[in-house]
Chains A and B, each alone.
Chain A
């Protein structure tokens, strides 16, 4: 793969991160909860106790 293609891939990755960073905080925390729910079974299998948040049903979605 050419160096130029790698640069494009990293640039796209950075753009995506900036887009996500610009989301409203309420939406970002809903994404965190989805990450928690995905990671929790793996962590629990390893013996780590974790608690997934229950966010209020949002009136500001």
Chain B
């Protein structure tokens, strides 16, 4: 996981992505009890492409050059399936802008705030998590 985050930080430093934050189940686990998941959802703001076209291709290409492979809808980064999700509406743009910085081990990363995670899970069919996340909003995340 830490090696995966280091790769994501490098993509951001190199301008392949403008900003990223952990979302999805792993994002929720920063605030909640652990539960089963198999992939890491990463929300990204992409640099403006020529013609305004939003595409994940530059991320995939940069990762392929590092030797990462695709697996279904994910890229395998340091053994972890990572799914990239571009900011596709104003709420997710806000969520990325307000994501909190935290540490995983010794590596800096960002995780969406619980209210944004709850909003996104609610919109995507993970029915039980939003209420639990909002209950935990008063609590503190790790790091």
Q: Write the residues of chain A forming the contact surface with B, with a CB cutoff of 8 angstroms.
A: 16-18, 20-26, 28-29, 31-32, 35-36, 39, 49-56, 58-60
In contact, B36 and A21 (Cβ under 8 angstroms) = no
In contact, B33 and A56 (Cβ under 8 angstroms) = no
In contact, A25 and B143 (Cβ under 8 angstroms) = yes
Interface 1/0 per residue, B47-84 and A, CB below 8 Å: 00000000000000000000000011000100111000
In contact, B106 and A31 (Cβ under 8 angstroms) = no
When A and B form their complex, what is the total count of cross-chain residue pairs whose Cβ atoms lie within 8 Å?
Answer: 67
The answer, among B3, B30, B76, for a CB contact under 8 Å with A25, is B30
Interface centre among B34, B76, B104 (most CB of A within 10 A): B34
Q: Shortest CB–CB separation between residue A35 and chain B, in angstroms? A: 5
When chains A and B are docked, how far (Å) is the Cα of A36 from the Cα of B143?
24
A-B contact list, 20 entries, CB within 8 Å: A16-B33, A22-B139, A24-B142, A25-B30, A25-B104, A26-B104, A28-B34, A29-B26, A29-B29, A29-B34, A32-B36, A36-B36, A36-B38, A39-B36, A49-B72, A51-B71, A53-B38, A53-B80, A56-B105, A58-B105
